[in-house]
A = this chain, B = another copy of it.
Amino acid sequence: MEIKPSMFIGVHGGNIISFGSGQPDLPPPENVFSCLSNYREFKYGLIAGETKLRDTLAKQNPGFTKDNFVITNGASEALDLVLRVVAKPGEKVLLHKPYYYSYKPLIEMNNLKAEFVETEKGKIIYEDFEEKVHGCSAVLINSPCNPTGRIQDISTLKKIEKITKDLDIPLISDEVYKELIYERDNYFLSGPHVVTVNSFSKTFSMCGHRVGYFFSNDLNIVKKVIELKTHSSMNTSTVGQEMAYQALISPKDYIEKQRKIWQQRRDFIYKRMLEMNFDVWKPEGAFYIFPKIDNPKKFVLDMFQKHDVITYLGEWFGDNERVRFSYALSEEKIEEGLNRVKKYLEK
């Protein structure tokens, strides 16, 4: 039986413990919903996105204006659209392995070729990056990383920023986990060639509403994406954008409270996995942990079919030895889920 992410996305309820989809279990800020009572808009919006939403995002990202932004159907669409305009069929896109499971299919479905940089415990081996970046039409960096939960070293990020600028290669930085970082301050890639992708899904617990965005100093990329999006999906849902705007102007302590909760859960699952003798790297950001597990395919299938536990196969992320656990669920559920795993592995 072939298993893939689409089998598990949106599946919940009953006795299921899901370490699957990377989505917060706690609700968004209250005004995300309370604004809906009086919502009455129904007409097309601007393709680039609502002006007040882009203006507010620009204010939170100094040096940019609304014209650098495009609001998209989640970070997924931002990545798809940007890939479609920066590279032509047959060209190469460089990414680090393990990678978010959508990257490789997106690259291949757009008739591009994926080139992989090797990592050591989730950290990019820069020598390998330096060798492979030549001849690529785009580079895709994801730090904090899904599925490893690791953040790239600042010195590595700076070298990547420089070499891609020197070579004039668009550097796509997927920062959907930028607010979820536990070990140090974050470092944001920047420059005239950088395309920063982000989303309201993880930071504000709005996965199902599909509002993401990207911004870039490269207005040629922005223009080309708007032209493509005019035909491929038109404006992003206007009601979704209103909800995203409300999230953005909600009390600032929401993000900090969420971050603390994820950190506690990170500590909890990491400690429990060490006690269970897993070969595992300490997650530094996002809400994933990526242990090594014997016979991962059988594990993922058995845990789902026989024990109502959803986990994601490492193979989808380019690693055949590991399994991804999202810890975006309560400690009680993490405990219960890991107990089922323990029982299964002891048999």
A interface, CB within 8 angstroms of B? 4-6, 9-12, 21, 23, 27-28, 32-33, 36-37, 39-47, 73-74, 76-77, 80, 84, 89, 101-102, 105-106, 109, 111, 205-210, 226-228, 230-240, 243
Chain B residues near A210 (CB-CB < 8 A): 73, 233-237
Q: Is the CB of A234 within 8 A of B76?
A: yes
A239 touches B240 (CB 8 A): yes
CB neighbours of A231 from chain B (8 A): 76, 80, 101-102, 105-106, 109
Which residues in B have their C-beta under 8 angstroms from that of A4? 227, 230
Check B235 against A208 for contact (C-beta < 8 Å): yes
Q: When A and B form their complex, which 6 residue pairs have the shortest distance between CB atoms, in order from nearest?
A: A36-B36, A102-B231, A208-B238, A10-B46, A80-B232, A6-B230
Contacts of A109 in B (CB 8 A): 84, 228, 231-232
Most buried by B among A4, A39, A230: A230
A172 to chain B, nearest CB (A): 15
Residues of chain B within 8 A of A36, CB atoms compared: 36-37, 39, 239
Residue on B with the closest CB to A230? B6
Q: A266 vs B347: C-alpha distance in the bound complex, in angstroms? A: 73
| Chain B contacts for A12, CB-based, 8 A | 43
Q: How far is the CB of A235 from chain B (nearest CB, A)?
A: 6
Q: Is the CB of B234 within 8 A of A9?
A: yes
| Contact (A106, B232) CB under 8 Å given A227-B6, A239-B240 | yes
Which residue of B is nearest A40, CB measured? B33
The answer, among B5, B84, B232, for a CB contact under 8 Å with A76, is B232
Residues A207 and B76 in contact, CB atoms below 8 Å apart: no
Chain B residue nearest to A224 in the complex (CB): B109
In addition to A6-B230, A89-B111, A111-B111, 17 A-B residue pairs with Cβ atoms within 8 Å of each other are A4-B227, A10-B46, A36-B39, A42-B207, A42-B209, A73-B73, A74-B234, A76-B233, A76-B234, A80-B233, A89-B89, A105-B231, A109-B228, A209-B237, A210-B234, A233-B233, A237-B237
| Residues A23 and B43 in contact, CB atoms below 8 Å apart | yes
Partner of A208, one of B23, B44, B102, B233: B44
